[in-house]
Chain A
């Protein structure tokens, strides 16, 4: 059974919004993540967003769209988007799409 994403997956630590991403990020899941992340960015007044890909086994271009959209929003306030625990396949997509130039991939 695939675990559903819940609000507990969004945590604010030191003005950083940490988002624990689900197992699969496709257009179906990405919509909800985008909306919730944006709402948290506005409400919690965070400066940076950290996306944790630890449990993520699948991503498509919707995930790239999600990162670009969050970058646009947070960079207005001088913030950054970080990606952690990125596996090879997902890293490949981040490089292929060029999105690695605007976000920070941390190992």
Chain B
């Protein structure tokens, strides 16, 4: 009897500790959200989304160029990181069971852990130094390098979850290994792969460090690949470290928009996954 009571008490304590841990884990999230909304919402206006930055001292103005720039950079990054990452993931699943595969896997994990500023320096050396010019391309490259390991590893993990009997079914019909991978395995894992891609996008959307000396910044509206381009994180950073009160307010508004961006990506990831999964189950 006594023993039972002790066990129940112990169980209660553990449940309480779990709840407390969850609470502690969520507090920062709520504070960040709350603070950003509180500070940023008042500065949000239609102009903020549609207008260009104004010189110091002139009231108003917005971050239209930075928002478009961020989308632009994400598209450039995704355009090469998604195919490279997915194909590398297919390689790891289908052919990477030996030493070289482990090496690739390890390298991807290390690359994933490399500080983003280092990635920025690498992209600087690769795409800025040779042409002696900051560019949107260099910024997209830096962000793409950060996406590749995430997409590679998610793709691999999700392909491993697809029943091997599907691969065998395709091979038994006379498919080559590559054909089976791309016509059966990848489509079967597509909901998860899409999620991985969107998570990777959400992850890099807010990166500042890799853009500081690749995409740099631009006071003007630009959609040129070879010109510097503005982005929300860099714009926020620039405004936040300035001494002007008005710019600080704009920085908060920008932060709110950026958080909103990432939030939308995350929700989108969920919705897309659900929808595709439902299609597969029919």
| Bind each other | no
Chain B residues in the interface with A (C-beta under 8 A) = none
